[in-house]
Chains A and B, each alone.
Chain A
């Protein structure tokens, strides 16, 4: 073993040793973890439902749910898909923004805005169980 190798090995041992108390195996999680993750997800779904029915998301009091009760007719399973009106393949979030700007007469959200993610979580949750069909019209 060269001097250099010895040094690396020592450093590795030191690192593992100091992190030993925090050691978690990647594939081991508990029922408690599952419950917590599900709760986290459902709290975002709930937030999404609130936004979906909120007259405040746009500027004129019109809410998403007015035309899309239970987020029906949004077809989350079909995105991304070609939108002939945009002339390209678009995502569901872009379609949400289209509705935000037009019937709701509001401003578009950043695609990673927590409100956008919440609305996607809600619409997708309402669509649970439906097989993926990207590109479908």
Chain B
């Protein structure tokens, strides 16, 4: 059975237990659990962009996105081993926004690991974020998988330490996705050296999963779908047999394979972003492998937003995109083709008109 019923069976966008049981026969589930020790799940929520209006008011729309993801993740059965929050918790990195976001995340019933996004960072260079969530980059091991969390949204010292009128000026310049006064993201030499050392003690057969905010690929510089030292970071990861990079920032479904490295993006809970191919003047290098998400329907506030339920299976990820107003999608590594593929839409004959972005 090619389907991975653990994701189908367990996901909560369903009418009820009876419907789920009849739709996914138990035999299928038993097969899927053939080697349960090799298997666990985690949830991935990203890009909530909590935005302060004034006083105790925050932009309602973005709040609703995160509240919904947290509530749904709490209903998962079986329970995920942990949750990753993929960055851009806040919109302008203020204490009010980070506190409000942290309060919402604190309702998760699971251990939560956080990734830094540029919107969390460029006001005070991650100082307050650190007080709430800890170090900017770190690694941990879980059930035989080595997880690395990178801070990939750094940029040059010249830009960061320019004579800005105020730190908020710097934050606002970086917050505008299409703002030509921003600056390209990078992991930077210091952190690459830390990563090299961190990976020294990891066996080449150990599955490695990296969480970053930016793509660790060069997809489109104009919107910082980009990491300036992507090649150098990739070079540190290529020697491992099974490597997956899961990233936020792009607010859309993307997936790619470069050598041994599988790349998968995650959705935002706040709002979707257009694909670079829909900007007529973008010189982009978007992965041909990606079957795009549906074009957003502006009449549905939560359309083209969502969060992810990730099934870790023999060191590879099966990502179920939980799409609030669309049918869920599952993108999984296919050992036969050695690349991530959408379970339904990879076949061009199966694609649907809303997946055409122009």
Q: Which A residues have a C-beta under 8 Å from some C-beta of B? A: 53, 60-62, 65-70, 72-73, 75, 85, 95, 98-99, 102-103, 126-130, 137
**In the complex, what's the smallest C-beta–C-beta distance from B92 to chain A, in angstroms?**
9
In the complex with contacts A72-B274, A85-B299, A99-B298, A65-B176 CB distance below 8 A: yes
- Residues of B near A128 (CB, < 8 A) are 280
- Residues of A near B223 (CB, < 8 A) are 69
- Residues of B near A126 (CB, < 8 A) are 279-281
B 21-70 contacts with A by CB, 8 A: 51-53, 57, 59-61
- Residues of B near A102 (CB, < 8 A) are 298, 301
- Residues of B near A72 (CB, < 8 A) are 274, 278-279
Evaluate contact between B59 and A61: CB separation under 8 angstroms.
yes
In the complex with contacts A73-B295, A85-B299, A98-B298, A53-B176 CB distance below 8 A: yes
Evaluate contact between A69 and B298: CB separation under 8 angstroms.
no
- Residues of A near B298 (CB, < 8 A) are 95, 98-99, 102
- Residues of B near A62 (CB, < 8 A) are 51, 59, 61
Q: How far is the CA of A67 from the CA of B271 in the complex (A)?
A: 7
B 85-104 contacts with A by CB, 8 A: none
- Residues of A near B271 (CB, < 8 A) are 66-67, 103
- Residues of B near A85 (CB, < 8 A) are 297, 299
Give the 3 A-B CB pairs with smallest separation, nearest first: A69-B178, A73-B274, A72-B274
Q: How far is the CA of A75 from the CA of B280 in the complex (A)?
A: 10
In the complex, the chain B residue whose C-beta lies closest to that of A99 is B298
Q: How far is the CA of A98 from the CA of B176 in the complex (A)?
A: 22
B 170-196 contacts with A by CB, 8 A: 176-179
**In the complex, what's the smallest C-beta–C-beta distance from B283 to chain A, in angstroms?**
13
- Residues of B near A137 (CB, < 8 A) are 353
- Residues of A near B222 (CB, < 8 A) are 70
In the complex with contacts A61-B51, A61-B53, A68-B280 CB distance below 8 A: no
**In the complex, what's the smallest C-beta–C-beta distance from B269 to chain A, in angstroms?**
14
Q: Judge if B114 is at the interface, Cβ distance under 8 Å.
A: no
**In the complex, what's the smallest C-beta–C-beta distance from A21 to chain B, in angstroms?**
46
Q: How far is the CA of A131 from the CA of B184 in the complex (A)?
A: 32
Q: How far is the CA of A70 from the CA of B224 in the complex (A)?
A: 13
In the complex, the chain B residue whose C-beta lies closest to that of A136 is B358
Evaluate contact between B59 and A70: CB separation under 8 angstroms.
no
Q: How far is the CA of A75 from the CA of B296 in the complex (A)?
A: 12
Q: Judge if B80 is at the interface, Cβ distance under 8 Å.
A: no
- Residues of A near B278 (CB, < 8 A) are 72-73
Q: How far is the CA of A130 from the CA of B295 in the complex (A)?
A: 19
In the complex, the chain B residue whose C-beta lies closest to that of A133 is B358
- Residues of A near B178 (CB, < 8 A) are 65, 69-70
- Residues of B near A66 (CB, < 8 A) are 177, 271
In the complex, the chain B residue whose C-beta lies closest to that of A85 is B299
**In the complex, what's the smallest C-beta–C-beta distance from A90 to chain B, in angstroms?**
12
**In the complex, what's the smallest C-beta–C-beta distance from A50 to chain B, in angstroms?**
12
Q: Judge if B273 is at the interface, Cβ distance under 8 Å.
A: yes
- Residues of B near A103 (CB, < 8 A) are 61, 271, 301
Q: Which of B222, B278, B298 has the most CB of A within 10 A?
A: B298
Q: Judge if B215 is at the interface, Cβ distance under 8 Å.
A: no
Query: When the two chains form the complex, which single residue of A61, A67, A69 contacts B279, counting CB atoms closer than 8 Å?
Result: A69
| Given A73-B357, A127-B280, 4 further pairs, Cβ under 8 A | A61-B51, A66-B177, A69-B178, A102-B298
Q: How far is the CA of A102 from the CA of B59 in the complex (A)?
A: 12
Interface 1/0 per residue, B203-222 and A, CB below 8 Å: 00000000000000000001
Task: Pull 20 A–B residue pairs with CB atoms less than 8 Å apart, ordered by A.
Answer: A60-B53, A61-B51, A61-B53, A62-B61, A65-B176, A65-B177, A66-B177, A66-B271, A67-B272, A68-B274, A69-B273, A69-B274, A70-B222, A70-B281, A73-B296, A85-B297, A85-B299, A95-B298, A102-B298, A103-B61
Q: How far is the CA of A58 from the CA of B47 in the complex (A)?
A: 22
- Residues of A near B272 (CB, < 8 A) are 67
Evaluate contact between B301 and A129: CB separation under 8 angstroms.
no
Interface 1/0 per residue, B114-158 and A, CB below 8 Å: 000000000000000000000000000000000000000000000
- Residues of A near B51 (CB, < 8 A) are 60-62
In the complex with contacts A61-B51, A67-B273, A126-B280, A75-B358 CB distance below 8 A: yes
**In the complex, what's the smallest C-beta–C-beta distance from B220 to chain A, in angstroms?**
10
**In the complex, what's the smallest C-beta–C-beta distance from A52 to chain B, in angstroms?**
10
